[in-house]
Homo-oligomer: A and B are copies of this chain.
């Protein structure tokens, strides 16, 4: 079953069938009508691969992420896919699993599938691999890394404003011992977030905060928080590099018998869906996946479609106030207190 059969049934040439499939305006309505009927009757679905071969365009966009298991990404994938499908394009999602070897494999898959563009939402990327794409004139868009060039764009998240709002909020509540649980420092994106925090404290003349390293996952946040709690000077407020980390920290705090926010305030980052439903609901810095996805797709699609150039796009962040932050407790000696709840009053 192929375009020829449709042509035969509709009594036209394959070219005409092709034209009506592609919505060409140079086809008489009646002819178009006849072809449509033939297509319906035969339940014909044009072979995308053959179309791509013939036209040189795959209508396929690659989306490389590091861990689909981190809720931040599925939301991004969903948005990206929605926009792509709306524009008649498809998405090939690939997971690197934070593994450089798999990253190489992902790149190879993208290249073999002849994608029309790739959104690289993962932090580390061998420059050599990037060249593979650029040499083939494949549009690229990065998140927080890379620099705009001919065909490659970069999405720059304004971490500073969100972090600043968070710190201002925390400081306004009287906190002075502020800690930060970072992501894995081997990841560029994790370092960028950490730096935003450090720079913010500096700007405000607050002493360097306590630092612990997590892994952007729940268990890492849990472990980091435990280490933080065992320090001689316990922080009264903790910012986490992402919400998963914050959720892990929340758990560790509860297990230690302390309370949030009475004893310790927690601020997350990302605002993933579940953060509104943790106990207590997480105050967090929102980073819109929808916005990132939209910008990323447009950056890619725009180049192919409107011949735009690679550019730099900004994406804002903003503070979402919920219940995991509160006034600094009066007693900050670091000992567990039975009356912790009263401090709130």
Q: Given the known A-B contacts A73-B74, A112-B46, are A247 and B277 also in contact in the complex, defined by CB atoms under 8 Å?
A: yes
Residues of B within 8 A of A209 (CB): none
| Interface bits A273-314 vs B (CB < 8 Å: 1, else 0) | 110111101000000000000000000000000000000000
* A108: interface (CB < 8 Å): yes
Q: How far is the CA of A90 from the CA of B92 in the complex (A)?
A: 9
Say yes or no: is A118 at the interface (Cβ < 8 Å to chain B): no
- Interchain CB contact under 8 A, A277 and B68: no
List the B side residues contacting A75 at CB < 8 Å.
69
Q: Is the interface of A mostly helix, strand, loop or mixed?
A: helix
A237 interfacial contact with B, CB 8 Å: no
Assembled-state Cα–Cα distance A95/B79 (Å): 11
- A105 neighbours in B (Cβ, 8 Å): 85
Q: Are A90 and B74 in contact (CB under 8 A)?
A: no
The 5 A-B residue pairs with the shortest CB-CB distance in the complex, in nearest-first order: A49-B49, A45-B111, A68-B74, A48-B112, A279-B279
Cα distance, A49 to B109, chains bound together (Å): 12
Given contacts A112-B45, A274-B247, contact A77 B68 (CB under 8 A): yes
In the assembly, how many copies of this chain are there? 2
Q: Mark A106-131, 1 if CB is under 8 A from B, else 0.
A: 00110111100000000000000000
A261 to chain B, nearest CB (A): 14
A254 within 8 Å of B (CB atoms): yes
Q: A50 contacts the other chain (Cβ, under 8 Å)?
A: yes
Interface size on A, residues (CB 8 A): 47
Given contacts A47-B112, A105-B85, contact A222 B277 (CB under 8 A): yes
Provide 20 A-B residue pairs closer than 8 Å at the C-beta atoms, listed in order of the A residue. Answer: A43-B132, A45-B108, A48-B112, A49-B49, A49-B53, A49-B58, A68-B78, A69-B71, A73-B74, A90-B92, A90-B113, A92-B92, A93-B93, A218-B276, A222-B277, A247-B277, A250-B279, A251-B278, A251-B279, A254-B279
Query: Is A214 part of the contact surface with B, judged by Cβ < 8 Å?
Result: no
Query: Which residues 59-90 of A sit at the B interface, judged by CB distance below 8 A?
Result: 68-69, 71, 73-75, 77-78, 81, 85, 90
> Which residues of B have CB within 8 Å of A46?
112
Could you tell me the distance between the alpha carbons of A281 and B279 in the complex, rounded to whole angstroms?
A: 12
* B residues less than 8 Å from A69 (CB atoms): 71, 74-75, 78, 273
CB proximity of A151 to chain B, nearest CB, Å:
18
CB A342 to nearest CB in B, in angstroms, measures 15
Asked if A248 is an interface residue, CB under 8 A from chain B, the answer is: yes
Q: In the complex the two chains form, what is the Cα distance from A281 to B255 in whole Å? A: 11
In the complex the two chains form, what is the Cα distance from A112 to B85 in whole Å?
14
> Please, how many angstroms separate the alpha-carbon atoms of A136 and B87 in the complex?
27
Whether A52 is near chain B, meaning CB under 8 Å from some CB there, is yes
Instruction: Give complex CA distance A218, B273 in Å.
Output: 9
Q: A218-B273, A251-B278, A251-B281 are in contact. List 12 more A-B contacts (CB 8 A).
A: A45-B111, A47-B112, A49-B50, A49-B52, A49-B53, A49-B114, A50-B53, A69-B75, A71-B74, A81-B95, A93-B93, A251-B277
